[in-house]
Amino acid sequence: MSASSTQPTMEYENWTKEELISRLRSLEGKSTMEPAETPRKRKGPRDNFDFSKFPQRKVAFKFSYFGWPYYGLARQGNALGSEEKQKQEDQYPTIEGELFKALAHCKLITGESECDYSRCGRTDRGVSGFGQVVALYVRSVGRFITREEADQLDESQRHLVTCDEFNQGQLVLLPENERELPYVNMLNKLLPQEIRILAWAPVKPDFSARFSCKSRFYRYFFSQDGLDIEAMQQAAAKYLGTHDFRNFCRLDPAKQIKNFERTVLDIAITPVTSQVSFIGEAASTEGKWWQLELHGTAFLWHQVRCMMAILFAVGQKLEPPDIIDRLMDVQTTSGKPEYEMASDLPLVLADCVFDKKDVDWIYVRNPGRDLGSMATLDRSVLKLWSELNTQAVISSALLQNLRDLAVPSGGAGGQESMKPWSECRKQLLDDETVTKSILGAGVIKHSKAYRPILSRKRADPVELRNQAWLERKGGNKRARSDADSAPLG
């Protein structure tokens, strides 16, 4: 028997908590029963950050995002506000919510309502952006100067002196752009990988990301499967120009919009150059992708998705191309017929266009010398692309396994015969008793019989809906006023 086996065994299971702690400390050479000292949280230099020591400057940020993990672009109230608001933002995350949290962490802003914030285009849940633009005041590495110091500056520096209300009328000497804070790198280190700052630009105090924008460019991606692309291209040309798009949008009576004329500057349906692989069926139309490219000055709520829904109906030969002309004739079609919008997932706000004199984007701090930030950005986007592409290939492989699977299909004389599922599936797809309406991103609405859009139930005309909202609002105000003025007791 070894010496170790003769040692007495401690029955620790019967010991109290205090006895166990004492025993552990004695084994570590500590005999005291005093609680261990709690490590003090090291205070960083940012804990008592004094914003008043730093000037602010107005800048614009161009950024991209994938919309599917978020509940839209616009934040839910104040993402940096009360604990309740923060919980709401955590439960229903938004792109702006993530952006403001990163801006606050970097000490670039003091709060959401104190930075003169504006956005170019509000995108809904699921919609992505490649060139979204926001503008706001952020902290600068510049410094406050006196009038005497400003007068002593040489000619090459005087254009860097600014003065506006956000700096309480004090003169500010801004740095050259390459010496400003590395805004792009600072924010990208904190933002989720689905959101990337692409560039920044100094802008004038009166610049608005929304109202200074000259045009917006949208792209909508879709598979060719089941669609007549040529018919869709011919129909899409009818959108070109200035038209009343009230029957191609979702109405919000609270906004009291009366002018529904919008201008489409350019529109085209073009092939996506890099086709999506579809394992086992290289020639399948499911793997051939197209995109709607749409340039316009401004757009109504859900306008692009409604336009796309009508194009899908034309592409399936469910509606004639002149359905667009008839929906634009608001005298004849005064109320919008009921129809479902196209899916949000394939829609991308691809770019926001500004005059060069208003915005000159800075992608790298030192052009021609420092490309490290672009390399970092490229790596992060490539990593995400690799993950998503891997998922696409894996799901495609699973789909092909299903297509190759042999299933019983019946046979003559009551004997079962086995056929590949791909053949049985084709027979089901060719079933003319069921109508399938394509809405994009794999969303298909099935119905026994397709009802033409113009024969469907229509909403009340815009004027009536706006007036009804005003009357309801007035009635609610009167009810509250009567309740406030009612005698107590």
Q: Alpha carbon of 357 to those of 208, 296, 361, 425: distances in Å?
A: 14, 20, 11, 57
Tell me which residue has tokens 């005497």. Answer: 148
Residue 430 tokens, joined: 């060719």
| Alpha carbon distance 16, 23 (integer Å) | 11
Find out whether 222 and 289 touch, Cβ atoms under 8 Å: yes
Active site residue 47: no
72: phi > 0 → left, psi -120 to 50 → alpha, else beta; which? left
Find out whether 156 and 72 touch, Cβ atoms under 8 Å: no
The widest CA-to-CA distance across the chain, in whole angstroms, is: 105
| Alpha carbon distance 431, 261 (integer Å) | 41
SS3 158: helix
Residue 439 tokens, joined: 């809405």
Find out whether 267 and 240 touch, Cβ atoms under 8 Å: yes
Find out whether 336 and 251 touch, Cβ atoms under 8 Å: yes
Give bridge partners of residue 362 from the DSSP assignment. 200
For residue 17, the one-letter residue type is: K
| Alpha carbon distance 342, 127 (integer Å) | 12
Q: Work out whether strand 128-139 and strand 347-353 pair parallel, antiparallel, or are unpaired.
A: parallel
Q: What is the DSSP letter of 440?
A: S
Single out the residue of 293, 301, 156 nearest to residue 232, CA to CA. Answer: 293
Q: In this structure, what are the phi and psi dihedrals at residue 232, rounded to the nearest 5 degrees?
A: -65, -40
Q: Alpha carbon of 223 to those of 220, 312, 396: distances in Å?
A: 10, 11, 14
Q: How far separated are the first and last CA of the chain, in Å rounded?
A: 92
Please calculate the CA angle 470-474-477 and round it to the nearest 5 degrees: 140
Q: In this structure, what are the phi and psi dihedrals at residue 203, rounded to the nearest 5 degrees?
A: -135, 165
SS3 279: coil
Other beta carbons within 10 angstroms of residue 274's beta carbon come to 7
Catalytic residue among 50, 90, 124, 484: 124
Q: What is the DSSP letter of 429?
A: H
Catalytic residues, by residue number, are 124
